[in-house]
Amino acid sequence: MIEQHATTAADGTESVPGKTRDALRAAHLYYMQDLTMDAIAHELHTSRSSVSRLLSHARASGLVEISIHSPLDLPSRIEQEILERFEVGAHVIPVPDHASDVDRLDRVALSAARILGRFVDSNQTIGIAWGSTMSAMSRHLVPKAIHNSEVVQLNGAGNGRTTGIVYASELLRRFGDAFGARVQQFPVPAFFDEPETRRAFWRERSTRRLLDLQERMDVALFGVGSPFAEVPSHVYQGGYLERADYEALSRDGAVGDVATVFYRADGSTDGIALNERATGPDFSVLRRAPRRVCVVSGRAKLASLRGALAAGLITDLIVDEGTARALVESPGDGE
């Protein structure tokens, strides 16, 4: 069964822009009165194609929310098994097995963007870890009116080629615009050259202010990095790592990262040398956030996902069906 909900302004539709007013009217006629698009076009004195665009605008702008309730498979078997084995709420996104990783990522990102509104609310601090998955997701966000909230960057984005400010600020701006939230950037490199430099920088008051915000996060949103994916995480393709870094990560047994903090298959981070220079939050900080939403696309990230689950970083998982199936069918530590 599919339920649709159209919302209108409390003081009537006359106070909203013309396109929004028309989209609200078209949505009400289509979803609440079951009129065909031809009938709506006749009533609104416009074309059928214009009605289609108005309905698309109503969905994209959050005027209409569509919920699917299946009496046969709710929750799905895979979602239930993930909950039982890993104590994580899962949203499994249907994607055909033959889909490319690029198409898979876009479909998961689109679904995740529409689910995210359930997790964000007023008076929250929302931490965002930049990366390929978050970038894809940011392009599909559905606006939600909340107040007194802020979006905080979790890890620096600069490297030897670029400051990373343009990339990170554009990503964060999309989240800030979608939720009417203040944006707090973290203008530091992804990795310092020396651990001593990081420790000194962390003592600065301007840096301390951002770190304090991270420690008070209500929601953390992130993907998992993997050097093996067809669509590699931004940290593995954007000039952030040198050959020596890859060799060190291999020696240290790293399988992936969250917010440029690397971990092993068992979720441990101790002794991974690169973490001494990384600017992402320590996992003890990340785990303080009551809600930690991880978005994963592609089976190549299965080892990274397992490590993040072993580290206890995830409360809510949004994942494509093939990866979810592989997660529950293969042996692991979640049992």
> Which residues pair with residue 89 across a beta bridge?
316
Count structural domains, the chain. Answer: 2
> What are 184-210's pLDDT values in tens digits?
999 899 999 999 999 999 999 999 999
User: Which pTM does this prediction carry?
Assistant: 0.79
pLDDT, tens digit, 9 for 90 and up, residues 216-243: 999 999 999 986 656 566 677 667 888 8
Q: Indicate whether 170 belongs to any domain.
A: yes
Percent of the chain with pLDDT over 70: 86
Q: Report the relative pairing of strands 2-6 and 64-68 from DSSP bridges.
A: antiparallel
Return the pLDDT at 61. 81
Structural domain includes residue 161:
yes
Q: Which CATH number fits the domain that encloses residue 271?
A: 3.40.50.1360
154 pLDDT above the threshold of 80? yes
Structure tokens at 286: 């990340």
Helix H segments across the chain?
18-27, 37-44, 48-60, 77-86, 101-115, 132-138, 165-179, 195-202, 205-215, 234-237, 243-251, 283-286, 302-310, 321-329
Query: Cβ-count burial of 11 within 10 angstroms (0-12 exposed, 13-18 middle, 19+ buried)?
Result: exposed
d(CA 127, CA 316): 15
Task: Mark whether 49 and 189 lie in a shared domain.
Answer: no
Helix or strand or coil: residue 258? strand
Report the first-to-last Cα separation within the chain, whole angstroms: 33
d(Cα 107, Cα 14) in Å, to the nearest integer? 36
Please report, for the domain that includes residue 52, its CATH number. 1.10.10.60
| 297 pLDDT above the threshold of 60 | yes
Which region among 4-8, 96-100, 117-121, 298-302 has the lowest average model confidence (pLDDT)? Answer: 4-8
In-domain check, residue 325:
yes
Residues 123-151, mean pLDDT to the nearest whole number: 94
What's the alpha-carbon Rg for the chain, to the nearest Å?
A: 22
**For residue 251, what pLDDT band results from cuts at 50, 70 and 90?**
very high
> Are residues 33 and 181 both part of a single domain?
no
Report yes or no: 152 and 186 within 8 Å, Cβ to Cβ: yes
Q: Is residue 269 part of a domain?
A: yes
Residues 100 and 224 in one domain: yes
213 lies in a domain? yes
Q: 114: which 2 tokens?
A: 């529409």
129 and 57 in a single domain? The answer is: no
pLDDT number for residue 202: 96
Closest of 292, 309, 322, 102 to residue 214, by C-alpha: 292
pLDDT single digits (tens) 12-23: 434 557 888 898
Question: What range does the domain containing 84 cover?
Answer: 77-329
Same structural domain, 30 and 105: no
Give the pLDDT confidence score for residue 6 in this predicted structure: 43
